[in-house]
Amino acid sequence: MSVVTIARQGDIATVTVDNPPVNALGLALRQGLWDAVAELDADPAVRAVVLICAGRTFIAGADVTEFGKPPVEPHLPELVARIEAAEKPWVAAIHGSALGGGFEVALGCRFRVALPDASVGLPEVTLGIIPGAGGTVRTPRLCGVETAVDMATAGKPLRAPKALAAGLIDAVIEGDLLEGAVAFARAAIEQPLPLPVSAREIAAPDAAFWTEAEKAVAKAAKGAAAPARVLASIRKAAEVPFTEAMDFERETFMALRGTEQAAALRTVFFAERAAPRPAALRDVQPLPLKKLAVIGGGTMGAGIIAAIRDAGLPVILIERDDEAVARGLSNVAKVFDGGVKRGKLTEAQAQTLKDGVTGTTDYAALVDVDMVIEAVFEEIGVKRAVFTQLGEHCRTDAVLATNTSYLDPRTIAEGLPNPSRFIGLHFFSPANVMKLLEIVPTPETSPETLATGFALGRLLKKIPVQSGICEGFIGNRILKRYRAAAEGLVRKGVPIARIDAAMRSYGLAMGPFEAQDLGGLDIAYLQREGARAAGQDVPETLGDILVRADRKGQKTGGGWYDYVAGDRKPQVSATVTELLAAQIGPESAMSEADVATALVGEMAAEGQAILNEGIASSPTDIDLVEIHGYGFPRWRGGPMFATRARD
Ligand code: 3HC
Ligand code: NAI
């Protein structure tokens, strides 16, 4: 079947694109649209054309799978120009998302109309490229330079009402899109037509605007190259004639397509989409998830509850006593109140979210829940007691999950009736924000239970990654090696501040030591002490020395650094130098770049060990864990991608 079909409603033609899954602009679609312009231009009965899409969305962009290959004609910029130059005005009728090349096609149309929940945007920077078919040149001609810069450098789409206010679309259609768009077209041809977008003027801002914008974009990009190139392209559009700016944009687009950053971001793009639906579970039906419960309303429990409520499901919170129930509910309420403060939620929405949580101490309330997620203290005795209760009170087919960070899920599940429905679901803090969800089956976990874990991941819009059982699973095991390696460098005389600066320059939000100061050094310390008490041989770390000197991080006024009260800025600490003097060698000349290479190499080496042991099933899974759980720079593709052997 053709991906483009043409129909006529009197003097208005409709061009329908049907190229599942997202109407991406592959060769067949570009050719189909090219031919449609010719056919409709030649038809004297047609006065206007409505471009509309079947399926879940308007054209979602260029076909990313074509990016590794040489471009084939008709190229997108020429197609957009051809639509713009058509003798009949085209109206883009947008539902879902008009993104990247899809939005550029819409910009070639004389008019754009959209459903209220549709969005438009230029997300190319998220793929390490810039728009390549006029996005940076036409957009500022519609909405002005400032909005175009915000939109294209961040890559965040705009919803229809905002797009209307910005001048990016001409109307929001309530009701049936096709009907509304045809009516719009019919009315529009009775009026003088507006200029094609390319013929419109841009109000060029002054030099100071660009200096400020360059600074802001560089700061937000954290090492990613594309945002600054988008800015340069919009600047060109504001300063030189249309065709010259188009050439500049296309050259930049072509140059960026082949870069390492673009390859990394493309790999991550596809890995993120594949992660929620592993091939091995394709034929396994997950169990239905309608009503969930969480045990423990502390840091993690409250975040998990918030994530479940965001997905619209009711949750029961079980805590150990009434006071803890009240504290847990208040922890959850704080998450939603924070949403109100940041303008993300209305008071009414926050109230609805809160109302969907029932707090109790009574396990009998769990009689009809489909899944329970345990997030109580990280102590085996406490967890086992909880699962004994769950075994007694839950349906035998209800999935029982633990959020343990380090305990062995097999030990937690011991004695459970029907252990096939038991699974580890390891969330990351804050659980309603962090995308990563490690899914840890035991040897007894059934495929249905595993599939239900992934179904929960999809429901909560997480990036689920399956992990085998080992201490710390994938993420915390790599973290441990990374931190140990960072301490190793300190022992060799590399200053703590240089190591942190190196990792920030590499693209992480924080270095290993400032991150520990923020989270607290005591948690890992207690874990090491626990292992020592259990007779394991855990060598003394530099962190142990600091914790014993009551330097547990920011919360005690100091850890690896000193902190002035009320200021989170780390200050190099003479006390730490003194405390660690006996452990530290003479100052090393190791550069920041060498530090980053060494530490990322350690992460990748641990990743490789994890792969060799079958704990993770692919290098991309490890990269997703690092990107979505630990803030590894996305544009580097993750430690495995960044250190892989180049062909
Ligand atoms: N090219 C090729 N395949 C694409 C694609 C694209 N642009 N966008 C999505 N897909 C594929 C996905 O890989 C996935 O495939 P799968 O089913 O085999 O796993 C399938 O389409 C569905 O994608 P999602 O799971 O993401 O579907 P959603 O309904 O959740 O989201 C969407 C739809 C909002 C359109 C989302 O897919 C999206 O954001 N896509 C990317 C849009 C984008 O980045 N466009 C710009 C491309 S670059 C460009 O246009 C350059 C131009 O300026 C020249
Ligand atoms: P927390 O101390 O903030 O919360 C634990 C909660 O469990 C408390 O509210 C406590 O009252 C409740 N609780 C204790 N015993 C209970 C019982 N018998 N019945 C019902 N409730 C009980 O701890 P946090 O940080 O939320 O951790 C919980 C679990 O999540 C631990 O297993 C931890 O390892 C894991 N985890 C923690 C992460 C973090 O960053 N804090 C990240 C990922 C996992």
The residue ranges of every structural domain in the chain are: 4-258, 279-461, 475-646
Q: Is 249 in the pocket of ligand 1 (CB under 6 A)?
A: no
Low-confidence ranges of the chain (pLDDT < 70): 646-647
Catalytic residue among 84, 104, 249, 487: 104
CATH for 4-258? 3.90.226.10
Query: Which pLDDT belongs to residue 67?
Result: 83
380, 530 Cβ separation under 8 angstroms: no
Give 313's Cβ-side CA count (13 Å radius): 22
The reply to whether ipTM tops 0.90 is: yes
Query: Which pLDDT belongs to residue 647?
Result: 57
Query: Which pLDDT belongs to residue 523?
Result: 84
Q: How many CB atoms are located within 10 Å of the residue 124 CB?
A: 28
Query: Which pLDDT belongs to residue 565?
Result: 85
Q: Is 100 in the pocket of ligand 1 (CB under 6 A)?
A: yes
pTM over 0.90: yes
Smallest CA-to-CA distance from 475 within 350, 619, 622, 604 is with 622
Residue 309 Cα distances to 292, 333, 354, 436, angstroms = 10, 11, 8, 17
104 is catalytic: yes
The burial of 219, by beta-carbon neighbours within 10 Å (0-12 exposed, 13-18 middle, 19 or more buried), is given as: exposed
Ligand number nearest CA of 249 is: 1
Helices assigned H by DSSP within 99-134: 101-108
CATH architecture type of domain 475-646? Orthogonal Bundle (1.10)
How far is ligand 1, taken at its centre, from the CA of residue 206, in Å?
Answer: 36
Q: Does domain 279-461 have CATH number 3.40.50.1100?
A: no
Catalytic residue among 66, 78, 84, 124: 124
Q: Rounded to the nearest 10 degrees, what angle do helices 473-491 and 496-506 cross at?
A: 130
Query: Which pLDDT belongs to residue 66?
Result: 87
Ligand 2, atom 42, lies closest to the CA of 428
647 DSSP assignment: -
Query: Which pLDDT belongs to residue 65?
Result: 87
Tens-place pLDDT, residues 283-332: 999 999 999 999 999 999 999 999 999 999 999 999 999 999 999 999 99
The Cα–Cα gap between 246 and 134 comes to 6
